[in-house]
Every structure is written in structure tokens, then in C-alpha cells.
């Protein structure tokens, strides 16, 4: 992996969600105790289809696996699955997937004083000011992050 101007150059595999399958997962409507468990709350009240919950505009949605550590301060770690929605208008402080000079990156979009920046959420990396000569395009806004704990 090469680092150029604070961007990790790597291959990114974009994935389209498969919405033809339906998988209902049990949903407990009672909150989960972070302290002592409550045995009275251990029953299923409904089911949840993750496609319906996480994907609002299927034609505008794609997924990508996170790679690198530039966004760990925003809770995005390697192997997390990012759900990107192209129908969301990027705004100041949105986390976006962008292409900059031929490389994909995920960063926080910062707009200030008429300038645009891509800001990493890790002090090891520098903020990138988008200049007129840059080949720059925002592909979409990160709508959800699915954590990988293994």
C-alpha cells in the first residue's frame, strides 16, 4: 500500500447489496442491559429485515470494506463494512467515499472559507485541501458502518 498525500492507494472492491434475499432476524424491543442482565426481558417481540433497515435507496447504495487506519477516530476500523448512499447530499462534516487523483479514500468532508478539505480522523495523517487541479469526485456518503469484531 502506497501513501500519497495522506491517501492510502489500494484496490477497493465495491459491492452492491443483494436485495432479492429476505432474512428476518429476531428483534428484542427491550433495551439491552450493559450492566446486570434482566431475565424478564429475554423474549422476542418482532423481526427485523436488515435490508429494509440499512438500505433506504437500493439503486443508490453500495458497500465497501474499510482498509487502513485514517478514520479510526470516527469509529471506522479495518474490515468494517461501510454502507454508502449516493442519494445523500454530502455536507460539511459528512463522512464520504471520494476519488482523489485516481485513488479512493474515506474521509470527513470539511467546507470552510470557500475551500473543501478531506480530513482524516487520525492525527497520523494530514488534512487534504482540494485544489482546482485535483481530479476529485465524491462517490457517496457513509450512511452506516457495520463493525467487524473478529
Which of 52, 65, 70, 91 is an active site residue?
70
Neighbouring C-alpha atoms within 13 Å toward the C-beta of 13: 5
- List CB contacts of 97: < 8 A, sequence separation 6 or more: 64, 82, 84, 104, 105, 106, 138, 139, 140, 142
3, 30, 93, 107: which one is catalytic?
Answer: 107
107 is annotated as an active-site residue: yes
Report the residue count for the chain: 150
Cβ neighbours of residue 141 under 8 Å, at least 6 residues apart?
A: 84, 85, 86, 88, 89, 90, 94, 95, 96
Positions marked catalytic: 70, 107
Amino acid at each position: 500500500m502506497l501513501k500519497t498525500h495522506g491517501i492510502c492507494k489500494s484496490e477497493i472492491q465495491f459491492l452492491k447489496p443483494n436485495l432479492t434475499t429476505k432474512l428476518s432476524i429476531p428483534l428484542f424491543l427491550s433495551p439491552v442491559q450493559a450492566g446486570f442482565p434482566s431475565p424478564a426481558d429475554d423474549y422476542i417481540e418482532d423481526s427485523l429485515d436488515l435490508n429494509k433497515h440499512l438500505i433506504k435507496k437500493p439503486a443508490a447504495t453500495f458497500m465497501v470494506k474499510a482498509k487502513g487506519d485514517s478514520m479510526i477516530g470516527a469509529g471506522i476500523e479495518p474490515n468494517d463494512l461501510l454502507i454508502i448512499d449516493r442519494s445523500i447530499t454530502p455536507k460539511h462534516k459528512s463522512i464520504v467515499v471520494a476519488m482523489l487523483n485516481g485513488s479512493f479514500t474515506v474521509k470527513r468532508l470539511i467546507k470552510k472559507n470557500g475551500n473543501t478539505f478531506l480530513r482524516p480522523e487520525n492525527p497520523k495523517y494530514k488534512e487534504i485541501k482540494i485544489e482546482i487541479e485535483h481530479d476529485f469526485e465524491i462517490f457517496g456518503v457513509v450512511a452506516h458502518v457495520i463493525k467487524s469484531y473478529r
